[in-house]
Structure 1
């Protein structure tokens, strides 16, 4: 359970797709002018990642890894189909994106029109493919953790685009210097938000926790006194030698 919780929060805040590895920046910048549009695209990204990462985990475990085909028989144990990873991962993603596009067009035509070309472009969004490739590279051991990683990575991307969309809606009424209007100030805000998200690292990983101090034992105290006495004696001898000279 602790492993699931740690992976969930780490994927959202520390290994955020936008602020840590800068994936999905095209959609992040282009569809973040309105909060309503950002929410729709963010929800679609969460759904696609939640479905494709576990599916690609199954493909990786039972088809692509070296020896993954052993379940078909001993004669297939030496096969290694890892060179097909990109093709199969992208095929899975494209299928899920097509499903999302059909559902959004059916139930929310206004959102479908707002997202425009960026909805089908989720299929080539590097954040979606990056989720599956990071899952493979980190050798996530179970299907449950793979699903957890897909959902949490999607939530991290969703929070990033939602936050920048809310800021961009408000910043329209601010007196931004002319050279920085538009993408200029957006990049600056993104950098500052990235610094803020990275600051969660120490709290979640515990790397900065000081070591626990233990009370010194009697033997350690005696040894420390003897060392101090030896140092004082050496200082006194050195002082007398200098004085005699």
Structure 2
């Protein structure tokens, strides 16, 4: 259940584009065609799905205070957390180079259409943001880190796919001249962000919270009944 909740939350509620507005440069520049957006979105899913769990391992066994205790008691006091950015970016750059080689080998047309934005995934703030959010939210297990990475990648993929489909259709619309181009794109992005915020009410665990509230209200009613009974008993003694 925890994996499912984290998966859907990272896609819809904590969407990289619509909740935190990360990765906007690639989101705006490569969303003019659906085919190009699909290719870049798939690459982002792959990179996030690999780098987030890898960086989780680095954080748990190397970077956190006391993480090096597995090397021996003399290393238990080491704190390498100041290397987080360097280590995370190195991991991301390695995976992006792998993606670039694969895309160039198996889909030269997609490689040419993505152009400079494919290697720029290495400096895409959404990719680094996924690892930093994983670290700040203290995700407990490798499985949850993998789930979060895949969910965040799918969320970014859905965002760029949706805006690319809209931008392809909006070419045939009568958009006011001052809003053409990035103007109407920003407006649509804001409206989509509002729509994605509505998924916040669909979090699982609502039944448990409701049951807890019911238990508390039942306890309050019991206390009130006891106090009322005691008052009646005291009043009866006074009358007697």
**What is the TM-score with the length of structure 1 in the denominator?**
0.86
1:177 alignment counterpart: 176
Task: Note the C-alpha offset of 1:202.
Answer: 1.2
Distance 1:81 1:20 in 2: 30
Q: Paired residues, what number?
A: 223
1:162 alignment counterpart: 161
**Post-superposition CA distance 1:143-179 (Å, at most 9, x none):** 0000000000000000000000000000000000000
- The question of 1:52 aligning with 2:13 is answered no
Distance 1:203 1:95 in 2: 37
CA RMSD, 1 decimal: 2.2
Q: Partner of 1:9: helix, strand, or coil?
A: helix
**What is the TM-score with the length of structure 2 in the denominator?**
0.87
Task: Note the C-alpha offset of 1:203.
Answer: 1.6
Distance 1:92 1:53 in 2: 9
Bigger Rg over Cα:
1
Distance 1:148 1:207 in 2: 21
**Post-superposition CA distance 1:39-60 (Å, at most 9, x none):** 0000000000000000000000
Distance 2:28 2:18 in 1: 13
Distance 1:66 1:84 in 2: 12
Distance 2:71 2:186 in 1: 51
**Post-superposition CA distance 1:11-64 (Å, at most 9, x none):** 000000000000000000000000000000000000000000000000000000
Distance 1:22 1:175 in 2: 27
1:200 alignment counterpart: 199
Q: Partner of 2:12: helix, strand, or coil?
A: helix
Distance 2:9 2:124 in 1: 21
- The question of 1:79 aligning with 2:58 is answered no
